[in-house]
Structure 1
Amino acid sequence: MAASVNGRELVLDILLQITRDGEYSHIALKNVLDKYQYLDKKERAFITRVVNGTLEHMIEIDYIINQFSKVKVQKMKPVIRMIIRSAVYQLKYMDSVPDSAVLNEAVKLASKRGFSTLKGFVNGVLRSVSRNLESVAYPSEEDRLAWMEIRYSLPQWILKQWLASYDEETVKRIAEEFLKEKPITVRCNLEKITKEELLKLLKEEGVTVEEEPAVPYALYLSGYDHLAGLNSFRQGYYQVQDISSMQVARWAAPKADDYIIDVCAAPGGKAIHLAEILAGTGHVEARDLTEYKVGLIRENILRSGLHNIEAVCKDATVRDEASIKKADIVIADLPCSGLGVLGKKPDLKSRMTEEMQKELASLQRSMLKVVKEYVKPGGKLLYSTCTISRDENEENARWLTEIDPKFRLIRQKQMLPGRDPGDGFYIAMFQRENDE
């Protein structure tokens, strides 16, 4: 059965779903890996690496192809373009795959997909790239933006934005961090298991585990095949959550019996973390907009085994009268441009635009305006995003204190990849004055 499935063909299908059909990379990849769970670990790792690598380095890959192809990348047929792109990624970044195998498989794939008349074209372009990879003419480092765009495969508008806020070395460090392969980060469910017991169990399951000195309940996992295939995961001994995202519950520091509303909670990492800290007391209401997202939260709650948390379908832009001044803590981790998680969601590099980012900053304000009303006098509001953007982060925090002086900004932090552990992430904590 497995022999009839061609890994490179699956790579092509996933990349087309993402770049042509608009599917999110993490969803497209997960769907295919879930469907073909029977493929061996090596094949699954190959598929994951080629898909993510092609997306991560796409700006550089297109730049290389355009030096050796008479037909420019954007003029190619989508199937041919994607076959060549993923082949160039393998030629440049995967020493374990012989160049001849990359070329042969690409030509076969073009033919199999009904483009046998273009076999010669595919072969010719890839042969030229293969022979001349070491002599590609990159932009001069003096042309700072053009060099950084190609070197880090980052759109110039993003680089300009970051260079306006941070020095060049910091921006380079962020960009480099996004291109590194990283283990998955999980948070140990200390209500169910001790960290020592979990470490022992994971090692028995053949998982490579590293600890994070800065956060005692965080672990880095790698070397496993399929997360849902691990008994430790199915038992709810840990939740997948980034280090930076774990800071939200640490900052919120809930007290026993607190009532907490998380207004955009899917897939539920922060809400579950808060429910764990409440240790069986209080109540967390984890909300999201669609039944699909609420379903994801419910799955994670079920695995966690917690009873002081529920998932509810509610729109954060619509005022919920029943919640006014009810919550001790409101968590507003709002939809954002995602520029802090480009290492995990590389398709955002080509998907996100400056215009969309402006619209998101405006959406965040309209949501904050609604959900701040759910905070009790004396209670806390935590606003967070997984982006690196002053408009979406510091400027929105400043705006909130201007439109409603009852909310005092207690602290805020922009976490940066390469400087801080984890993703690019922003948190601002406000306290509502106790006017009663």
Structure 2
Amino acid sequence: MSKTSREIVLDILLDIDRNDRFAGDALGGALRANQFMNKKERAYISRLTEGVTEQKIRLDYILNQFSKTKIKKCKPVIRCILRMAAYEIFYMDAVPDEAACNEYVNLTGKRGFRTLKGYVNGVLRSVCRNKAAITYPSMEDGVESYLSVKYSVPEELVGFLLKEYSTDQLEQILQAGEQERGTTIRVNTMQTTTEKFRNILIEKGIKVEKGYYNQTSLIISGYDYIRTVPGFHEGLFTVQDESSSLQVLAAGIRSGDVILDVCAAPGGKTMYAAEQTGEQGHVYARDISEEKVDKIDENLERLELHNVSTKVWDAAVPDPDMIEKADVVLADLPCSGLGVMARKNDIKYHVTEDMVRELAAIQKTILDVCAAYVKPGGTLIYSTCTIDRIENEENVTTFLKAHEEYELESLSDYMPECLKKRAEKGYITLLQGVDHCDGFFISRLRRRK
């Protein structure tokens, strides 16, 4: 017997809980395994999985007001069922509250917990009866507590970010996770034009908006599955946020340049750099595992780009063969990912200040290695998809002290008009919810001749 949509979501959430998986990976695997379900069911599975993951702290706060057992101490199946039910009750209107309660009580029994059906029923009925009267922390109860529950972010992370941003700024950043947003793609201009491809999508009923910062970027929505979007298999586009594409633009790549992308998977920057340098140039794309490099190769094949060599290589290990070989080194390094919390809604549960400092140390090591790869007069682009100073500005400062042959160079000539002023000092931090893209840090370091 095939599983219902709720059973599939429960399995996904248990997979995340038990195996410490990221929601996007678990959900993606489940959707691929159920790719023949109709669009409505797939959308329901995605929304419920992502919603429960994103609102976990807020949902637990609500449920704890009506449960004698703290939700974190419940059995994993019961914990997930209660969170799913609470999310449907508060955030989804397709099913009446009473019907939703019945569905989840029945699911409890179906999963072998008949003795707990009464408990689940009691908690959910109490939630429904008192839905309008539930109170939440106010600013007077403490900024950390207020922001933590309102935006379902751990208090420790709120406190860490408040060291760098005002309450108003941080709330604006966290609000980005609550907003609907489409998928940003970049058109492969070696195969088509942005306008021509935009018209193809519109003709197929896909909603399309122009990008804010990159003329080759489009924001799409109203499709079922990215691989079913017209032009995917023909390599007419790749999924890439505008913040990531700005990193490549910041490099000022010229036709014929030699590019080294040291942490390249899944290949968005590599592909854009390959288009920029053309057949006269070459891109060396690397990452730490066969799996990651396979993803790069898959995308290169799809976009029919032939001026790229891929290789499994640990970016922290020096490669004597690359010394002073690159006109441009792209170092978009592993980071805490605080700039993509709006898209990857469970990153926030994994980040601590200790983790940030450990990552910053790894980034420093890789930057020191990369310094030797750049030709005199060449460019090192250091970027991250995070928004804290420890991994960003502080790393740049440390690098410049250790490498006197480098200097910061203004990014203004490579940025769109609306960002030029902010980019004059040689680096820029883009903020989700403030700018029209993911949070991202980009710096341009020029090696003196």
Instruction: Report the TM-score range of the alignment, normalised by the length of the smaller protein.
Output: over 0.9
Structure 2: gaps spanning 5 or more residues = 410-425
Q: Counterparts of 1:271 and 1:24 in 2: how far apart (Å)?
A: 25
Superposed CA offset, 1:170-217 (max 9, x none): 111101011212111000111101112211211232211111243211
Q: How does 1:333-412 map to 2 (within 5 A)?
A: 333-410=332-409, 411-412=426-427
Are the aligned partners of 1:56 and 1:343 in contact in 2 as well (CA < 8 Å)? no
Residue 136 of structure 1 deviates from its aligned partner by 1.2
Which residue among 417, 424, 434 is the counterpart of 2:432? 417
Q: Counterparts of 2:3 and 2:193 in 1: how far apart (Å)?
A: 41
> 2:22 is matched with which residue?
24
> 1:325 is matched with which residue?
324
> Across the two proteins, how many residue pairs are aligned to each other?
432
Are the aligned partners of 2:213 and 2:242 in contact in 1 as well (CA < 8 Å)? no
Which residue among 33, 47, 51 is the counterpart of 2:49? 51
> 1:63 is matched with which residue?
61
Residue 388 of structure 1 deviates from its aligned partner by 1.2
> 2:448 is matched with which residue?
433
Matched residue type, 1:39? M
Superposed CA offset, 1:330-366 (max 9, x none): 1111110111111111111212222222211111111
Q: How does 1:50-199 map to 2 (within 5 A)?
A: 50-142=48-140, 143-199=142-198
Bigger CA drift: 210-219 or 280-289? 210-219
Are the aligned partners of 2:157 and 2:351 in contact in 1 as well (CA < 8 Å)? no
Residue 39 of structure 1 deviates from its aligned partner by 0.6
User: Aligned with 2:247: secondary structure?
Assistant: helix
Q: Counterparts of 1:386 and 1:18 in 2: how far apart (Å)?
A: 23
Residue 263 of structure 1 deviates from its aligned partner by 0.4
Residue 377 of structure 1 deviates from its aligned partner by 1.0
**C-alpha RMSD over aligned residues:** 1.2
Q: Counterparts of 1:222 and 1:8 in 2: how far apart (Å)?
A: 24
Identical columns (%): 45
Matched residue type, 1:386? C
Superposed CA offset, 1:48-90 (max 9, x none): 1111111111111111111110000111001110111111111
Q: Counterparts of 1:213 and 1:332 in 2: how far apart (Å)?
A: 24
User: Aligned with 1:260: secondary structure?
Assistant: strand
Superposed CA offset, 1:119-145 (max 9, x none): 111111111111112211211221222
Matched residue type, 1:65? L
> 1:237 is matched with which residue?
236
Q: Counterparts of 2:309 and 2:322 in 1: how far apart (Å)?
A: 15
Residue 112 of structure 1 deviates from its aligned partner by 1.6
Are the aligned partners of 2:188 and 2:236 in contact in 1 as well (CA < 8 Å)? yes
User: Aligned with 2:179: secondary structure?
Assistant: coil
TM-score for both structures, normalised by structure 1: 0.97
Are the aligned partners of 1:265 and 1:271 in contact in 2 as well (CA < 8 Å)? yes
Structure 1: gaps spanning 5 or more residues = none
Q: Counterparts of 1:377 and 1:113 in 2: how far apart (Å)?
A: 65
User: Aligned with 1:124: secondary structure?
Assistant: helix
